[in-house]
Chain A
Amino acid sequence: MRSEEDLIRTLRTAAGHAEPELTLAASVAARRRSRRRAGWARTALAAAAVVLVAGGTTAVLSDGGGRARPAAEATRGVERAVEVWPEAMFTVPGTAVDGREYQPMAAISPAEVLVSAVAPGVKPDRLEVFDTGIRQFRTVTSMPKPNVPGYRFRDVKARDNHIVWWGETPHAGEGAWADFWYVPRAGGESGHVAKLTGELAQVDAFDIAGDHIVFSVERGGVYRLPLTGGKPEKIKGTDGLHLRSWPLAAGYTAGESHERNQNRTVNLETGRSADVSVPSGARGLICGIQWCAGVLDGGPFRQRPDGSDRRPIPADLRPLVFEGLPADRFVLGRLSSGPVIQALYDLTTEEVVGLDEAEFGGGVPTVFSWREGSNLTVVNLLAVM
């Protein structure tokens, strides 16, 4: 017999595989315009080029004229993570002694991974750290769960002596809220930092800066919030900016969220802003410190922020869009051909490394995992040499 957890995991895994790459907003807008012009027109759907990347299915990529253009050569003979990155992989028991299931959430160093322990009630309720050096789990804290149906734990990070996580209610919009929680990295009792409502509840990225939480919201703007609680305060001059990792934030060209290009990177500590060189026709360009990746001429490409080293990425890798590049070095995508369905492209080595249906944590993923029997195999991106 299977458990309800198997069912929940299946639904969530499937949902994670249906990542929109582009333009839902554009196609809905086009259909609304078209309806206004000509009444209900079923054909508008075809013209509007719905783009939805979901595993195994050929995505309909359109550049507006309906042309789908291949770019670089497709990937052949993808090697899997276990063959390419043995130094970054480890295997642990899949469940704790009390029967809770472990779910790796985030890499916090090359040797440490934050793991949540999930009770049969399907919400994570304990945070642990696995240290690969001593091969042991250490309990950090229990995670109080707000008594709200559908509340979701979204992302967790550790910096210096602090660990912070956040969650949100399932239905964004008016009445929705998000909240932040804090625990010292050494462990202890967790504390509720703040509950955010309205526009501030639409958190799209967060980090820890000294004794503050910093976060940005989907409309743009970066805020800081003391770990001890209080009111979030908007950081001056951050209108339209989205946090990467502190102190860096990204500015974008106008456009739909998955189409717009990052055109500058701002250091919020120094106030220095560096322009990103955006090639004409690029879409969805996202940059870290070292690298940028996006779509150009219908295919994925990479470059340095100053525009140098611009080259196509293997054409059958359809990038998933996150607020940043994993470990400032990788592009996560789905492969549209071959037996491997999920892969990381290493910007430094230009290798495509297969991950199959590995699960990953919230935010910009730094850790991937999959179950093999009663064990859990984990890839820590921070440990990739």
Chain B
Amino acid sequence: MEFEDFVRARGPALLRYGYVLTGNPDDAADLVQEALLKLGDSWRRVRNKDNPEAYVRITMARQHVSWWRGRRRERITDDVPEGSYTDAHSTGELWRELATLPGRQRVVLVLRYYEDLSDQEIADILGISRGTVRSLAFRALNTLRVRPAVFEGRHS
């Protein structure tokens, strides 16, 4: 597969992932483009040895954490997906609250609940311990008033 084919085939999914990570479309597009440029530079190596999509997603998660450190939260939220006649616990409200989380907490939640990764995998990606992942997730869930469920050992 050539780099351009990869971008074409996986671009939409990467933009969705970027949007969930960053919370707004401009940062999502920036993040995806930066990560793809990096991938493009090392395409042959990554294509032959690794999984290019995993490489991009990991790059995006790491890049976002480092961006976050250097930025203030300029945009609290995008107005997506605001509810209108859904119930009071609409996804819009929770989406807005997600935007108020510190960057690392948000990334951990996205990797855990959107990417469906285990805490160990998240720890490996972000270069932190599994205990730190758990404590970041715990604090984030607490802030969002989300009750952690215990099932299947999914996050173990």
- A interface residue numbers (CB < 8 A to B): 1-20, 24-25, 27-29, 31-32, 35, 45, 50, 52-57, 120-121, 149-150, 170-176, 199, 202, 218-219, 256-258, 339-341, 356-357, 370-373
Contacts and interface: CB of A to CB of B under 8 A. Distances in A.
B110 interface: yes
A52 B145 contact: no
A24 B32 contact: yes
B28 interface: yes
A9 B89 CA distance: 11
Given A7-B144, A170-B115, A371-B86, A32 B37 contact: yes
28 contacts: A2-B89, A2-B145, A4-B113, A4-B148, A7-B146, A11-B109, A15-B16, A16-B16, A18-B16, A18-B18, A24-B7, A28-B11, A28-B36, A28-B37, A29-B7, A32-B40, A52-B28, A55-B78, A56-B78, A57-B79, A121-B152, A171-B53, A171-B54, A172-B10, A341-B84, A356-B83, A356-B86, A357-B90
B19 A14 contact: yes
Nearest to A148: B116
A15 B114 contact: yes
A257 B8 contact: yes
B87 to A, nearest CB: 6
Main SS of the interface on chain B? Answer: helix
Shortest Cβ-Cβ A-B pairs, 7 listed: A18-B19, A54-B25, A55-B80, A24-B11, A15-B16, A56-B79, A10-B91
Contacts, number: 204
Interface residues of B, number: 72
B33 to A, nearest CB: 6
Interface stretch (B60-68, B92-100, B128-136): B92-100
Given A150-B115, A173-B6, A341 B54 contact: no
A59 B79 CA distance: 14
B20 A14 contact: yes
B57 interface: yes
Given A24-B15, A341-B82, A14 B95 contact: yes
Nearest to A359: B91
